Chains A and B, each alone.
Chain A
């Protein structure tokens, strides 16, 4: 079989690919998206123009974008932590839900305490709930070598059912007893609401927290023994075992850490934005799955994840704002999926250079 091009393995990876591949991915995804739009009778240029103006071109629109970016930054970091360790945690969704469950518990039960204490309490319970939930999947993988992809996915569905149970199908502590007709979550106390900083535009505390978490993770991966051991485990698992790194235990720790980060995201959802445990809203949002797109496009880099979260957050924000007859639902998800596609396909550029077939033969004869 003769192909006009061939893939040749790269011996070194040029640094420029770290930003070139994501940029090309987004451009490629928008191009394929434009074809889909045209095939279904929509005008791609006006659609993209509306997304751009709705998401990025004014302070008002940027505020909405940061709001959408905050949960994605946390789920993106959650996916990045595990993916770069070679563990495929799809459970950011469920871990985010559980974080919201924990944080709303604290936000309701700690009424009467000082604001700072309540917020710290919400972050910590969010971390414990999200991290604990993820650690179950990590423990099963470490002990029984179960496929973490399927386990975390099943646990996402179970977490969704837990939300349904707490709000719709029981008289739980989380359900608002005053909500007749359509049940809803009990509001957290006023002091538990997270601050929003006014610096020309509204910046939610949760977003600042995501940047801090990103910085801590970056430090951990590049400057500590733990980070070094993690990269050995992902690059050479056998070598890691020979030098005495406790690989099984690390799987549980990494999963727990990732879940804790997603859990803070869930806490920010309750503290900064919704102020209740919103069973329906959380399940419709799909933060966890979008977080995987964020992580892949950021090439699993913590700071990159924050930046990409803003980009994808803008897309999500535009999707909410524009949804209507000429902006079909599913378009944003389709574009996000396409971005993940092109990001994965772009992986090829980092590992291979693309050559015209026959090129090499000529070089030899010359």
Chain B
């Protein structure tokens, strides 16, 4: 089968964008509650390594192992997020440095690599990778087949999630209260909303989703563990939240855009196009910088900006 460049681009944009979206959506929830978590990269790697280990050691039918692996990956990253919530919400420390601590502690040179070597995860490929599906036998359909019906279960889950997240944030009472906590915790507190509880829950949700993103890397993209395999995806996810103006739908668009950048080098290499590979490798990072510059300056930031108390600890006594 010989698809044209557009079809391959679109299909792989979705394929590579999906883990970015999970991680970015998680960060979006945390930030909407007012907690900045720069530990996404570390949480993704912890999720990835624990999911990889689970997949290697659990026996059972394939879908069962995959499901449990995803849950373990999400859960362990959620635990790391709980640590961040404790530092940021309860101890009220500097959230920027706390998040960096998470990434250095859990990241490519830290705990995820420690687990990988203690458990021997890197030695063998994942026994139950998350497979690319052929939905309703439509994967071979022209154009839309490879793009829409030839993805993993996590991609379809992410499409459900983007709808659910949008309704939750903008159409539900809890979502309204969540946004209130992120904008003005003082007001929210006065309304009787438990600020601490909202911040804890949404920081941990952020961790769960980052863990799923990490699982996608270790069980789908390259179904073998490599130390630091997310290669900065966690940081791009944080940038995507800004790019998406803290909205799930725009974040999904951004994730696919970056997925396209990431896949471009692979596609062009496969087609023997002579562009220096390093320039293509640098593209996602360069594009992140350009996009941040565009959305940070001028009108965009003022109209659709960040939650007003993002990164600011809430202290009841100081009202």
Contacts from A to B (Cβ < 8 Å): 1, 7, 9, 36, 40-42, 83, 88, 90, 140, 143-147, 149-151, 153-155, 157-158, 161-162, 164-165, 169-170, 286, 289-290, 292-293, 296, 328-334, 336-338, 340-341, 343-345, 347-348
Contact across chains for A340 and B278 when beta carbons are under 8 A apart: no
Contact across chains for B278 and A164 when beta carbons are under 8 A apart: yes
In whole angstroms, what is the CA distance A340 to B106 when docked?
Answer: 12
> How many of chain B's residues have a CB under 8 angstroms from any CB in A?
51
Contact across chains for B239 and A150 when beta carbons are under 8 A apart: yes
Contacts from B to A (Cβ < 8 Å): 38, 83, 87, 91-94, 96-98, 100-102, 104-118, 196, 227, 231-232, 235, 238-239, 242, 276-278, 281-282, 285-286, 288-289, 292-293, 296-297, 301, 317
| Chain B residues whose CB sits within 8 angstroms of the CB of A348 once the complex forms | 91-93
Q: Known: A143-B297, A147-B292, A154-B286. Contact between A345 and B278, CB under 8 A?
A: no
| Chain B residues whose CB sits within 8 angstroms of the CB of A146 once the complex forms | 289, 292-293, 296-297
Contact across chains for B101 and A150 when beta carbons are under 8 A apart: no
Contact across chains for B96 and A149 when beta carbons are under 8 A apart: yes
The SS class assigned to the A binding surface is helix
Report, nearest first, the 9 A-B pairs whose CB atoms are least far apart: A337-B105, A330-B113, A330-B114, A333-B109, A333-B110, A144-B297, A328-B117, A340-B101, A154-B285
In whole angstroms, what is the CA distance A161 to B283 when docked?
Answer: 10
In whole angstroms, what is the CA distance A332 to B238 when docked?
Answer: 27
Contact across chains for A165 and B276 when beta carbons are under 8 A apart: yes
Residue from B110, B238, B282 having most chain A Cβ neighbours under 10 A: B110
Closest chain B residue, CB of each to CB of A39: B118
Closest CB in chain A relative to B157 CB, distance in Å: 27
Contact across chains for A169 and B101 when beta carbons are under 8 A apart: no
Can you name 28 A-B pairs with beta carbons within 8 Å?
A9-B317, A36-B114, A83-B97, A140-B293, A145-B296, A145-B301, A146-B293, A147-B239, A150-B238, A155-B285, A157-B231, A169-B276, A328-B114, A328-B118, A329-B113, A330-B109, A330-B113, A330-B227, A333-B104, A333-B113, A336-B104, A337-B102, A337-B110, A341-B83, A344-B101, A345-B87, A347-B91, A347-B94
Q: Known: A330-B112, A333-B110, A334-B105. Contact between A151 and B289, CB under 8 A?
A: yes
| Chain B residues whose CB sits within 8 angstroms of the CB of A161 once the complex forms | 278, 281-282, 285
Closest chain A residue, CB of each to CB of B298: A144
Closest CB in chain B relative to A96 CB, distance in Å: 15
Contact of B97 among A158, A165, A296 (CB under 8 A): A296
Closest chain A residue, CB of each to CB of B238: A150
